[in-house]
Chains A and B, each alone.
Chain A
Amino acid sequence: MTATTRRLLVVLIITAGMAAGLLVVVLQLQSRAVALEEALQTIANQAAVEREFAALSELLERTSQERAQITEYFVVGQAGSIAFLDQVEALAAAEAIELTNPRLTTGESTSLNSPVIQLTYNFAGTEVAVNRFIALLEQVPVASYLAALSFAIQEPPGGAPQVTGSFTIHAVTTNLDV
């Protein structure tokens, strides 16, 4: 290997190193330039973001009562499920309806696109009371609906018609794990 060849090799290695270094510097510069451009864009948009933020905050503050009211229509967590059961049982007691064999499961309502608790009871009472109870059950201030209802009517001689049957009510729920 001649001296010129050695020099050529050394210079070649140095050139390659410098090329790599320059490439790294250019790429770094490019990425920082992009970051700077985004930063400038963000700062330019900040006024609009601040306006929107203020509008959203104001909207949330103005609708806090309504939002709280909407939440009341949902059965929230296990405590809410228990409260809903109590509500149904209190309604039945007020109408002198006997509720037995409660079953509580969870499911999903595809139409409402929401998880629901599914509460099933057997019931017994006079026909008039049952009619009133069913009507009241459909009006409880909870996002719910009667999912199944079947009953038999018996007319004892000389007495008021008696009704026995079962119903399933679905109530929209949130945060079941709570």
Chain B
Amino acid sequence: MSAIPRLQHHFEDLPKQAHAAKLGMWLFLGSEALFFAGLFTLYAAYRAHHPEIFRLGVAHNDLVLGTVNTFILVTGSLLVSFAVNALRLGRRTWAILLTLGTALAGVAYLVIKGFEWARHMSEGIFPGGKGSFFVENPEPAWAIFYTAYYGLTGFHVIHVTVGVGILAWTAWWMHRERIGPAAAYKLAIVSLYWHFVDIVWLFLWPLFYLLRNPA
């Protein structure tokens, strides 16, 4: 049986149902964008208060690892886009593999991020301005820079983790033939979520890795 999604009783036809699902996901992503906006506002305000130390803090982050992470996430987005297309064309195996590939990209991102955090912690940098680093660098702005760093990247990590979970779950459903070509919109809305997570990183990357040179 090739997984024709059930038309829910209140929708006129399947295209309407698919359209509603996509609209719903876009609206939800709008709320997620505002979620991160609050955090970006915090960063912006504090960077305006303490421009030099924020710059130094960004310079202290590992540019290579940050850029590798960018490539990983963008590749993941590419893969999941191909997966949606594959599913629409009926190539179920490719769709599943590509989706899992995206999930794997997410996991790789998490591993690298974890490694970065571990390195910071070994230098005595903990959220809340705790740790030996802040004894050596007593200027208060260091504390707020790193707390904002942990806060923003941590919040993003939560979203990446959720994304990985949902991708894996969707791949499983495709495998069990509960999502087939006619229900490709379901994979499409998952991919929308992943693209959003990717875009947030494309803002985090400059704020925490690229903006390191003197004005």
> Are A and B bound to each other?
no
Identify the A interface with B (CB < 8 A): none
